[in-house]
A and B are shown apart, each in its own frame.
Chain A
Amino acid sequence: MLQIISNVFTPLNILMAAGGVVLGIIFGALPGFTAAMGIAILMPLTFTLDPAAGLIMMGALFAGAMWGGAVSAILINTPGTPGAAATVLDGYPMAKQGRASEAIRESIFSSFIGGMLGVMVLQMFAPPLARVSLLFGPPEYFMLALFGMTIIASLSEKMVIKGFISGFLGLSIATIGMDPLLGIPRFTFGVPHMVDGIQLVPALIGLFSIPEILEIIQTHGEKVEKIPSLKNIKIGFPPLSHIKKMTPTYLRSSFIGLIVGLLPGAGASIASFMAYNEERRASKTPEKFGTGMVEGVAASEAANNSVCAGAFIPMLTLGVPGDSVAAIMMGGLMVHGLHPGNALFTVHAEITWTFIFSLYLANILMLFFGTFCAPWFSAVTDTPRHILAVSVILLTTVGSFALRGSMFDVYVMLFFGIVGYLLKSHGFDVVPVVLGIILGPMAEKGLNGTLAISYGQNTLGFILQRPVCLVLLALIAVSLAIPFIRSRNKDKDIFSAPHEPDAM
């Protein structure tokens, strides 16, 4: 334990954590720039670093971005990240009442509490869950991959069927390259670089960054709300009496965030709304929510920060990312040769525990930077968006190239950027595509292994005899039922899209 803590507090790792938090706050605060984009861009830069340092920086960026989104949510009624969507509901009214400082102070502190509680649970439950992964054989991994696909697709914000199409499109892309059974290159079209398959990192960078850059470019010069200067915001810590009063809110919302974070594909936006709703239900004055209730801000922010740690639990233990950002980080893990499962907590225990404990440091740094350094972020939020956009273009290009020193990866990044933009503009989510690319190899190896083990038997019967498979099958059934339940609550056909504007 002392060794791990001393690893966390090396100068390099502190610098990585601080840099990650600052970048995360910036990416989170700028509407259009997301945590996923930030980590996708940053990831190639971490390849030359020690694996622990790279993971620390990415985890810190995630934590910082989850709070950063609250800044624009409170000041300009636009969540900087999806996780801050519920923060808008009471945060912006507070800003309009001249209570912006109070709202931002509450958002930082509740983000800090949510983040810290989340890491504590991650620390307690990840190792036992990693041991459960030892019970997983090929049939279980196949079912787990299917579960990951179904839940992320069924929670797709747009049409559910499009979520499934995106997810299976990702699985199709994952079949490009060397076949795991006979080692025969598939779907390479004679291109030698494709024998290794489509590299995850350039595809991720393209899918997440290029569509956003194109949207940012489009709004250049239009009347887009600029974040008011943070120079005049005075923050500081909330008084102790306030913290005592808000403790039930922090605990309830953090717990909700953790549970939601555990579910693959159920990200921070769902967590923040669920926590907000529960807070309103538990309140003695629910009718005041939406008019500037500090409890609304606290609930949303505590939940969206505890999602970070919650999403890491299935990512580290079972290889199923709980969130799109965790999906990208999983790519980073795999590039460093670290594969999720029990080995992460045994063979690579030092790296894993250093990363987990660094999340405590990241949350403390987020509290520090948010409380004392908010005015400095004005330098970035005041930068014209076209300059930020060209900077992101440079970083995505360089990042893709830095992976293997290959121009082919840059071409892949561009290709997937265009594909991502076309998908998004036609109402498809790109997160299921990413998850499909990540889970594809697991699903294929699982299916091949299952067919091999059950040779001569009824494969379905063989799967149904395994208890873990039965549990996963039940979870798949639940995840497939979720869209129907949601549509009944909203009195809508699951095949219809939510209202989409004419312009895309």
Chain B
Amino acid sequence: MTVTVELHGRLADGAPSRSWSLDIPGQSCRVEDAVRAACAVVPGLGGGLDGIAFAVGDRLVSRSAEIVHGDVLSLLPPVSGG
């Protein structure tokens, strides 16, 4: 399956791209598995995941949530709006 990974805030700083397609074996996987796969692709990403939340589409999801082909998985660092 293929999902899109999006980096936001400080996670995007210095990354080769803010968004990319990630190929993952199988029909579905958990968010944490996709994140692990993303870290293998983007050097240094794994070291910056403290306090990171996850979203699929416009919904927050847990690390154990299931994602499927075509989903857009967003990695959200601690926020600073307002």
Q: Do A and B come from one complex?
A: no
